[in-house]
Amino acid sequence: MRRIFRYLIFPLAAMTISCNVVFASSKEARAFVSGGDARFRSGSYREAAALYTKAIDFEPKQSHSFLCEAYFKRGYAKAALGDPEGAKADYRVSLDLDRTPISPEAWYHQGLAKLALGNEKSAKSDIRKAAMLGNMDARKWLYDHDPKNAEFNDNFEALALLETGKAKFGKKDFQGAISDFNRAIQIDRILAAAYYYRGTAKRLTGDQDGCKADFCSLLEVDRTPINAEAYYNRGYAKAYLGNRDGALSDFNRAITLDPNYAEAFAQRGKLKESMGDKTGAQDDFRKAESLGQVSTSSSKS
């Protein structure tokens, strides 16, 4: 009996170690990409490319969508370094890895890669798809390169104010962010994301009534979200307003549309915990952490 037990316990131990290695490598790979993004934004393109390469080195254990992103970003860094051939090689790998993106950013990246490789018609189709899914960079590209795109021009000012407000929000300039969101909503009364971010900013500044009012407005204007972020925003608003079942449904949908949506996993974990699903909450917290999102919870160890 002891011998049988020994034969059983060793494979189980090996499986546990293997799972932990995959979990750790995924988290580390994501950290390399995040570090590369920071270096790229600061203009340190060579360092950025090196960090993206380190992420790619985890290839056997990463998803195609993750690798697609890493190769594209390394290609972008190579292009900035004056290595167009190296950039094109990475773009080709990126396109081969993820032929059917599910996120607006991925569609935009695919479009830029095709553009660099000379496939302009298909590139514009992908960039348009990204724009229709709400990607601001794609909308700006269309605005700059195809002025006849009225559907993206008419509301460009409101969307630009939404983006500047989000940037101020990220820097914790909540009053400045609220000012931009106010102007965006004046231009576009049904800009759902502006209500979400303004409501969140109000909550963080202590205006709970204003937050509640904005979240209620968000639910009124965004009855049919079109992308993962919109579902996440609506789910967050529903959770805040006490509709936990509705919030769970929206977080589920956000994650279906973007399986790498760390914040959605984190918030769904908190929601599950509040609903008594401790096991499901822990699973979501672990997934959020593997994607680089740190989540706090009363029951996490």
The H or E element containing residue 57 is none
Task: Based on the fold, state whether residues 224 and 264 are members of the same structural domain.
Answer: yes
As a whole number of angstroms, the distance between CA 189 and CA 180 comes to 14
Residue in the block written with tokens 């997934």: 287
Q: Which long-range contacts (CB under 8 A, 24 or more apart) does 39-44 make?
A: 40/73, 40/76, 40/77, 40/80
Average model confidence (pLDDT) for the chain? 82
As a whole number of angstroms, the distance between CA 59 and CA 94 comes to 13
Residue in the block written with tokens 């106010």: 182
- How far, rounded to the nearest angstrom, does the alpha carbon of residue 175 sit from its chain's CA centroid? 25
Overall domain count for the chain: 2
Cβ atoms of residues 122 and 101 within 8 Å: no
pTM for this prediction? 0.53
Residues 220-257: pLDDT tens digits? 988 888 888 889 999 999 999 999 999 999 999 999 98
Task: Based on the fold, state whether residues 30 and 114 are members of the same structural domain.
Answer: yes
Which pLDDT does position 27 carry in this prediction?
Answer: 77
147 falls within a domain: yes
69 falls within a domain: yes
13 falls within a domain: no
Task: Based on the fold, state whether residues 140 and 167 are members of the same structural domain.
Answer: no
Of 148-162, 165-179, 180-194, which gets the smallest average pLDDT?
148-162
Domain boundary among 86, 118, 152: 152
